[in-house]
Structures are given as C-alpha cells and as structure tokens.
C-alpha cells in the first residue's frame, strides 16, 4: 500500500506538471486576487528557457559586465522592429495570440478580433464600458491599481530592494534621474506592477490630483520578469521610461513611472498628462505601452498610504498578485495633510 501510494503521488505530480507545460503555465507563481487561487503565469517555453539561461548565479558570475544579456535583449528588440506589428499582414497573428493566452474578448470593445486591422491595433485594445469598474470612484482617499498586471507592494524602498528588485543601482533618484525631486520619495512606499504580453496595455491614474511635472528618459528595453529583477542587472534604471508626478491632496506627491521592457516599441504618455496643472481623476487613462512586456512603478511619500493587507502580506512572501485595473490598492493614511510646494 505504501509503495502504491508513492507511485500514485509521483504519477499525479508528473501529470500535473505535463498539464502546466501544455498550458504554457511555466512563469512566476502568482495569486489570482479574484479567485484566491495560486497559478503560474503563461509564458512560451522558449522564453522560460532563455530566462533560466540568462539569469542564474553561474551566468552572473561569468558575465560580470552583463554584456551577454544586454546583447540578447537588443537582438530581440531589433527582431521585433523588423517584424513591424503595424503591417496589415500582422492581422493574421491576432487569433493565434488570443488562443494561446486564452483572452476573453467579451471584455473588450470591439470584441470581434476581425475588427482590428493590425496586431498593433489589437495590442492596444480598450476595455468595454464597465469591464473594469473603479473601486470607490467618489472617494479620493482610496487609491486604485493602475493596470491589469502582477503586483507587489512594499512600505519602503529599502524593503522593495531587499525582497524584490535586487539591482544595486535601484533608487528613486536613479529611476527618475533627478536627485532633488527624488527626495520626497527617498524611503517612501512603492507599488511595482508588471504587465505581460497578453495583458491590457493601457494604464490609468491611481489617484485624483493634478499633473505637477512630466519627464521622459530614453534607455534600453531589457526583460522585467521577476527572474531578471532578482538578478544584479540594473534593469529598471536602464530601461526607457516616462515619469509623471501627480499632486494629490490626499496622498501628497505620487510618482508614476511607466517603464518599457522587452519588445516594447513605445512608452506613451498622453499629451494632456504632460501638461503641468492638468486635472486628473482617479482611473483616468495616463498612456499606453506598445507590443511586449512592461512595468510600472508607483511611489508614494513616506507614511502617505496604507497598502491593502492582502497585497502587502503576499508581497512579503515574494508572491505576486494578479490584479486588474480599478481594483483597490490602498487608502490614504494622512489625507488631511496638504501637499507641499517644495522640490517641484
């Protein structure tokens, strides 16, 4: 009986792994916030193998300058640019992409894949009205998730660096390339949102406020998978990114940074979001990513937000949470303190 039980357990585990491989569920372990179930992110097997090759202790020891990884990612980017997802013939890729990632088109408008002339048009598709309701829309003391993504949140930048982003150059100053402006977030609270190719790739304001400043920083388009972020490669401070500071009465100055990654051709911030003084409502669309994976960093001044308990608890366990745009992110901890004018 003991031997039969062991054989059954081995076969059961093997079949489960084969099923995961068949469904391409080989990515980082995440918890689906809506269902409460643990699952692995869908990735192509080639991408998974490439990540294992590029980001492991042996490669890090051999490739001290990270030249191999940077060269590989730049080759990927060149290949995507040559492919040009905006050509009419790219329309043929849409159906296979939907099938591979099991995308529910009922949530989008238009819902018919044939309505998108090119893959690029499909990639920046919009949700149908009501598909992503905004949490507590009339309460400005409640912040929301900015994008369909996998999220981790930490009360301080130091904890983010200790548990999640291991690149030794990651600081807010390096992220926005501005020592003076970075002072207000020097050890503030941070939410890190990572988007995958199958996700909705438009992003929205987490809070109500007004635009204080905008800045674009050119750079690379390196991989933002957790395996890469856990390595010594300084990815988030090297990739191309666009920064918007939103001045909020309830949360103080909120830093929103959209970061390009592998195969992303554009990190776009809408024109009105670049204008100082532009009024922003919670949930307003800030901009979009073109094709590929990508990442968002949202930083709050110290002591200005209490992240939702489930997000913070799971983040401390280094478990990403599968979230949707409009879900609750946290609440203002000192909503009665007015924003300051210093270091603008």
Helix (H, G, I), strand (E, B) or coil at 257: strand
Q: Is 216 a catalytic residue?
A: no
Cα angle value 36/39/44 (rounded, 5°): 150
Cα separations (Å) of 117 from 42, 57, 69, 114, 125? 26, 44, 34, 7, 12
Write down the residue that tokens 């856990």 correspond to.
230
- Spot the catalytic one: 146, 148, 192, 295: 148
Q: How does DSSP classify residue 338?
A: P
Q: Is 112 a catalytic residue?
A: no
Phi/psi at 75 (5° precision)? -65, -40
Give the C-alpha separation, 127 to 245, whole Å.
25
Is residue 204 annotated as part of the catalytic site, yes or no? yes
State the catalytic residue, choosing from 204, 231, 295, 315. 204
**Does residue 105 sit in helix, strand or coil?**
helix
Pairwise CA distance, residues 136 & 129, whole Å: 17
A 10 A CB-CB count for 213 gives 17
146, 149, 182, 294: which is the annotated catalytic residue? 294
DSSP helix/strand/coil, 80: helix
Catalytic site positions? 148, 204, 294
């Amino acid at each position: 009986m003991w031997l039969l039980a062991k054989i059954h357990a081995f076969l059961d585990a093997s079949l489960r792994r084969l099923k995961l491989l068949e469904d391409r569920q080989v990515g980082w372990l995440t918890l689906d916030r809506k269902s409460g179930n643990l699952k692995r992110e869908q990735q192509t097997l080639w991408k998974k193998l490439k990540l294992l090759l590029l980001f492991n202790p042996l490669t890090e020891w051999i490739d001290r300058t990270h030249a191999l990884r940077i060269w590989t990612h730049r080759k990927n980017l060149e290949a995507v640019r040559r492919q040009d997802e905006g050509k009419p013939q790219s329309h043929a890729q849409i159906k296979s992409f939907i099938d591979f990632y099991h995308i529910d088109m009922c949530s989008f408008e238009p819902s018919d894949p044939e309505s998108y002339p090119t893959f690029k048009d499909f990639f920046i598709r919009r949700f149908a009205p009501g598909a992503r309701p905004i949490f507590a829309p009339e309460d400005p003391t409640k912040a929301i998730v900015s994008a369909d993504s996998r999220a981790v949140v930490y009360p301080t930048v130091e904890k983010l660096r200790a548990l999640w982003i291991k690149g030794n150059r990651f600081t807010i100053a390096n992220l926005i390339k501005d020592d003076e402006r970075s002072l207000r977030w020097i050890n503030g609270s941070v939410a890190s949102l990572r988007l995958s190719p199958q996700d909705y790739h438009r992003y929205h304001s987490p809070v109500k406020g007004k635009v204080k400043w905008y800045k674009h920083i050119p750079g690379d388009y390196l991989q933002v998978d957790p395996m890469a972020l856990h390595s010594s490669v300084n990815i988030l401070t090297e990739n191309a990114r666009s920064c918007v500071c939103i001045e909020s009465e309830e949360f103080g100055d909120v830093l929103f940074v959209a970061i390009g990654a592998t195969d992303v051709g554009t990190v776009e911030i809408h024109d009105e979001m670049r204008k100082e003084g532009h009024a922003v409502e919670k949930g307003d669309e800030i901009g979009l990513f073109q094709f590929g994976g990508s990442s968002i960093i949202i930083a709050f001044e110290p002591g200005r937000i209490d992240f939702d308990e489930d997000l913070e608890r799971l983040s401390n366990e280094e478990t990403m949470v599968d979230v949707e745009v409009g879900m609750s992110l946290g609440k203002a901890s000192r909503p009665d303190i007015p924003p300051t004018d210093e270091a603008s």
